[in-house]
Structure 1
């Protein structure tokens, strides 16, 4: 029997006060262990979808489930949800408020009513996971942008969620900061955390994600990243361009340099590594 998704929306509709529906009859599931990229043009409801998944918004119609069980929007139900799903918003300054890094990261576990030793253990674990242990006592207002991003994510990780949802986590980071963050996310995934990333970067999605969800005015379309990001009609509807790796793969296959059984390059480094072999094969 197929296991139910960790968290899912079923026939969900939502509208902000006095506004039109942002989402209408949406079905969306997060499967455990799959890195999922959520993509779509501004205004199609990505942020709304993420807030519905994390309990920050309540659907007008439809339901949210955790492991197949409907979520109750009372204290116990929301506590269970927030120990399963954590959302980190795009701007870390919207999430950080405590005087120091360790104090900020400890906020969630303290609200769970955990013992002081357990809170300290979770804070230490989260700081280590985000490689910011040395910043524990640093005032949050003295952090760089990248450090603030990591601190915000650490606060979510300290809740030990099964699903971590990140809204544009690489936005505003320089290339080195992006690479360090992706390495951190790989470590979290290896530790059992399912990661959902909202992004406009189709090249990043192709490189990083197992699955891609394209949010269009007609609904959401989910499948293997390489397959979904090659569907030009859906990309157009979602306001996205073709990833360069998909374009390069098409060109290589058209020239007979890559057959259908071979995976195409997802990064410039993979293309560079592939070139000598193609030259030899040719």
Structure 2
């Protein structure tokens, strides 16, 4: 069966900053509809550069960027088409938020599309609701907490109704509660049909959240199912990533014959607790 055309795709892409060495070279990377993808790599591996290439903020110096199978033209029409399909949320929300209030900031993108006022208001309401910040609509952005600013920045991207939402380290700087609220919001977006690509250093987060992983290592970009890639010790060593907690636990359970081959692996402490409870119940029956 023929694979569907990726929404957005880099083909043999290369990039170098002015007077600097290549950051990326010969990269093939496709983002398919409806997937949750974690992009991992050490500092300086090129994660942020790759995200900016995908979203049109940077232009490939070699290779190409394709949208629905067609090469992107870096003119007004081509970039408008790209940016209504793919939206990037940067790591620091203060680099993205600029309006006086949350409502004004979230409405900025849709207004620039020239949409009718009623449609702009609808998109803003839906985006605020998706990120669970409706109560903050009139709040000055400078009075928001860091986690609230993160969600407001994402809401601004969501209001553009992109098919692909790209985020650079979205959980960085958030406490555990803030991380869980953000992940809940991202799950709602996925259920509504948004494809999500997240760059992160957190291998445990990648394992529990993503369907697929893309790992930037000195030898190149590797992609595949997240559990498979994050169980590849040689790849993790090359990319200077630590082993995920869930992978280590699954290996321990299998070594002692407690987890059957092909059985679902506990990927978080909560899932391990549930697994232990179920195992204990089965022994007492």
Both structures adopt the same fold (TM-score exceeding 0.5): yes
Residue 183 of structure 2 is matched in structure 1 by 182
Residue 19 of structure 1 is matched in structure 2 by 20
Residue 202 of structure 1 is matched in structure 2 by 203
1:243 aligns with 2:228: no
Q: TM-score normalized by structure 2?
A: 0.97
Question: What is the count of residue pairs matched by the alignment?
Answer: 282
Q: Matches of 1:66 and 1:145 in 2, distance apart?
A: 33
Report the Cα offset of residue 42 of structure 1: 0.6
Residue 219 of structure 2 is matched in structure 1 by 218
Q: Matches of 1:263 and 1:42 in 2, distance apart?
A: 32
Residue 45 of structure 1 is matched in structure 2 by 46
Residue 135 of structure 2 is matched in structure 1 by 134
Unaligned 5+ runs, structure 1: none
Report the Cα offset of residue 280 of structure 1: 5.5
Residue 93 of structure 2 is matched in structure 1 by 92
Unaligned 5+ runs, structure 2: none
Report the Cα offset of residue 156 of structure 1: 0.2
Report the Cα offset of residue 53 of structure 1: 0.2
Q: Matches of 1:47 and 1:196 in 2, distance apart?
A: 12
Could you give the per-residue CA deviations for residues 59-106 of structure 1, whole angstroms, max 9, x where no partner exists? 001000011011000001000000110000010000000111111111
1:145 aligns with 2:146: yes
Report the Cα offset of residue 120 of structure 1: 1.1
| 1:100-119 matches, cutoff 5 A | 100-119=101-120
Q: Matches of 2:159 and 2:278 in 1, distance apart?
A: 45
The CA RMSD measured in Å over matched residues stands at 1.0
Assess if the C-alpha contact under 8 Å between 1:85 and 1:165 holds in 2: yes
Report the Cα offset of residue 246 of structure 1: 0.4
Secondary structure of the 2:264 match is coil
1:230 aligns with 2:219: no
